[in-house]
Structure 1
Amino acid sequence: MLIMKAIRVKLWQDLVNYKKPTSFQLKETYPLPPYSTVIGMIHTLCGFTSYHEMKISIQGKYFSKVNDLATRYEFKNGMTYDATRHQIKVDNYGVSRGISTVELLVDLELLIHIIPEDPALVPVIEKAFKEPIEYPSLGRREDIATIQAVDVVEVEKRKPKENKSVNICDDYNAYVPISLAESNVVRFKSQESSVGRDKLLGTRYLLTEKYERVNHGTEKAPKFFRKWRKKDVIYSSRIFVSKNDVFFLDKDDCLVFIEEEV
């Protein structure tokens, strides 16, 4: 029997954008925050100056989507200021200012389980959410997150007493790691009627989780780039776990979507 301590956090945001890195003119958003975004918020609130390994389960829902206008700044490295094309002058360099469109999620609710690799960090993270050192934001800097509930719960790998759906916890959607989906422990409703071989009912994303700085230059002229560790997931609400299967559940029988290994 595997039991772990987790911090379970419920958050609410009125308008938020979790920008997809490949979107530009229209800044599209992920339906839920990527793992790296959540982990970054945790490290900021805790005041961590080095990376702490942790497992994250992300569930949530939003009411609708809207588009909004935002100011967009563009510049090219080394381009000198030209009054006929640039709106802003920074020293001798020019910056163009224009308009872009941002996709926003409305009335977003999140249920996040945080399981640090070091159990001693559980009370540290709990306190950081109950007594934040600054206003918590998730997504853009201006996307303030309202903390609705913080609890320390036990996450246990066991058989549920009955078939458990992600909808048990307030009709949420979830990021399901692909290894869980392909193992058939996590099942998808109505998969018998799905077309073709692929029975993973949902949207597949490759989400950023953690990065390391890699030097592609020399010791004297370093050029550092971020090399990301990414997690392959299915985003879906049509999820359930059979009462005959073993899965991670918290004390309130909410499903926790984590993998065995970090």
Structure 2
Amino acid sequence: MKGIRLEAYQNLANYRKPTSFQLKESYPLPPYSTVIGMIHAACGFTEYVPMQISIQGKYHSKVNDLWTRYEFAGNSFEEGRHQLRMEDINGKTYGVTRGVSTVELLVDVELVIHIVPEDENYIPVILQALQSPAEYLSLGRREDLLQVTKVKVVEIQKERTKKDMVGIPYDIYVPMDSIIEDKRLYQSIGTYYSLNKTYELFEIAKGKTIRQWKKIKAFHIPATNNNRLFARHIVQFDEDDLIVFLA
């Protein structure tokens, strides 16, 4: 199959865990939904284009920084309690509390992302958007600029490996569905995450909708594990021998 390999760099980035608030923690690699959202924004897609993604990369260190936090509690504005006042189209006022919180930032992030749209006709569209974006690309927060170092179309194929282990130059997400052998091998060397990929909108009341996310269960496997990964069965590689785990 054909796909796109995107190699990129970020000076600072935060891929926020949805359950972190006071300390805005970061995933070690961007989740699938974040990457898919960046691609759709770059291409100007207004509807979801089905695609599979493989994500790997590494970062040098972590730092903490301050950020301005806004809380929207849905309460009416009260002088002395709220710092900001908002008004909806019906003239009802709401109070907003402004404070300071902490954000976890990854430093000197290197990413290798494989993108395989379900319809190969989208490959030249995505390639053009990543090579010559209409505006700057960001991944994570809006201010987390994405510097594209290389983007190319690659051939991805399945191969049967005769070795017990294969090399991984980067940390990588390994979806549980792609693991044929004993999953306990991965539990001992990696961290389990349930990562967002795509969502559907459900109406819970008139005019109010919520997102219901499709999750990808995956292990984050660090390359520090002697740069080896258990792969006793069939795995995928691109034409430059980089391992690929699509989800």
TM-score (norm 1): 0.85
Distance 1:16 1:199, change over 3 A: closer
Which residue of 2 is the match for residue 35 of structure 1?
32
| 1:143-222 correspondence to structure 2 within 5 Å | 143-160=144-161, 163-167=165-169, 172-181=170-179, 183-184=180-181, 191=185, 199-217=187-205, 221-222=206-207
Please list every run of 5 or more consecutive structure 2 residues that lacks an aligned counterpart in the other structure.
88-92
Which 4+ residue blocks in structure 1 deviate beyond 6 angstroms? none
Letter in 1 for 2:238: D
| 1:17-36 correspondence to structure 2 within 5 Å | 17-36=14-33
Pairwise CA distance, 1:84:
1.5
Which residue of 2 is the match for residue 240 of structure 1?
229
1:202-254 superposed Cα distances (whole Å, 9 cap, x missing partner): 1000000000101223xxx2431111100000001244255x63211001111
Please identify, of 68-77 and 146-155, the stretch whose mean Cα deviation from structure 2 is larger. 68-77
Pairwise CA distance, 1:184:
1.8
% identical aligned pairs: 50
| 1:42-57 correspondence to structure 2 within 5 Å | 42-57=39-54
Are the equivalent residues in 2 in contact too, given 1:160–1:253 (CA < 8 A)? no
Which residue of 1 is the match for residue 90 of structure 2?
none
1:68 equivalent to 2:60? Answer no
Distance 1:148 1:125, change over 3 A: same
Which residue of 1 is the match for residue 119 of structure 2?
118
1:174-198 superposed Cα distances (whole Å, 9 cap, x missing partner): 00001223x129x99xx5xxxxxx7
Please list every run of 5 or more consecutive structure 1 residues that lacks an aligned counterpart in the other structure.
192-197
SS at match of 1:147: strand
Task: Measure, in 2, the Cα distance between the counterparts of 1:128 and 1:40.
Answer: 13
Task: Measure, in 2, the Cα distance between the counterparts of 1:88 and 1:258.
Answer: 44
SS at match of 1:216: strand
| 1:58-137 correspondence to structure 2 within 5 Å | 58-77=55-74, 79-91=75-87, 92-137=93-138
Which residue of 2 is the match for residue 250 of structure 1?
238
1:139-187 superposed Cα distances (whole Å, 9 cap, x missing partner): 01111100000010000111358652112xxxx1000001223x129x9
Task: Measure, in 2, the Cα distance between the counterparts of 1:74 and 1:55.
Answer: 35
Task: Measure, in 2, the Cα distance between the counterparts of 1:222 and 1:127.
Answer: 37
Aligned residue-pair number? 237
Task: Measure, in 1, the Cα distance between the counterparts of 2:156 and 2:72.
Answer: 48
Letter in 2 for 1:13: Q
TM-score (norm 2): 0.90
Are the equivalent residues in 2 in contact too, given 1:165–1:241 (CA < 8 A)? no
Task: Measure, in 1, the Cα distance between the counterparts of 2:166 and 2:236.
Answer: 11
Are the equivalent residues in 2 in contact too, given 1:215–1:223 (CA < 8 A)? yes
Which residue of 2 is the match for residue 195 of structure 1?
none
Are the equivalent residues in 2 in contact too, given 1:13–1:146 (CA < 8 A)? yes
Pairwise CA distance, 1:133:
1.0
Aligned-residue Cα RMSD (Å) equals: 1.9
Task: Measure, in 2, the Cα distance between the counterparts of 1:199 and 1:143.
Answer: 31
